[in-house]
Amino acid sequence: MIIALAFFSQRINSNIVQKSKPEIVDDFDAKIIEMGEESLLVEAFDYRKEILVCTKLLEEKESFSVGDIVNIGYDGTITEADPLGVTALCIKKVTD
């Protein structure tokens, strides 16, 4: 019985499909106006709007400061809220 359970468990685990990482579909330049623990509030230059950027999926956490100009890559999904929201997949400083 134990052997059967181990075999069954192994078959289930081998059939689990792992989610693929989201891909960067779009990006925008913005100025950081506020910083949180897992978020940035930015003013997007192209949209002339404030956008709340979730940073929890970032693999590499670069250090930023209020006033920095950054390029934010995201999966193309924008949350319709006030302010608008995106989940960053990549953030790079544009200028010092």
Q: What's the rounded Cα separation, in Å, for the pair 89 and 46?
A: 19
Residue-wise pLDDT for 75-90, tens only, equals 999 999 999 999 999 9
pTM: 0.76
Residue-wise pLDDT for 3-56, tens only, equals 444 444 454 444 445 567 789 899 999 999 999 999 999 999 998 899 999 999
Sign, CA torsion 4/8/13/15: positive
By CB neighbour count within 10 A (0-12 exposed, 13-18 middle, 19+ buried), where does 74 fall? buried
By CB neighbour count within 10 A (0-12 exposed, 13-18 middle, 19+ buried), where does 50 fall? middle
- Domains of the chain (ranges; CATH) run 22-95 (2.40.50.140)
Report which DSSP code applies to 64. -
Q: Band of the pLDDT at 73, cuts 50, 70, 90?
A: very high
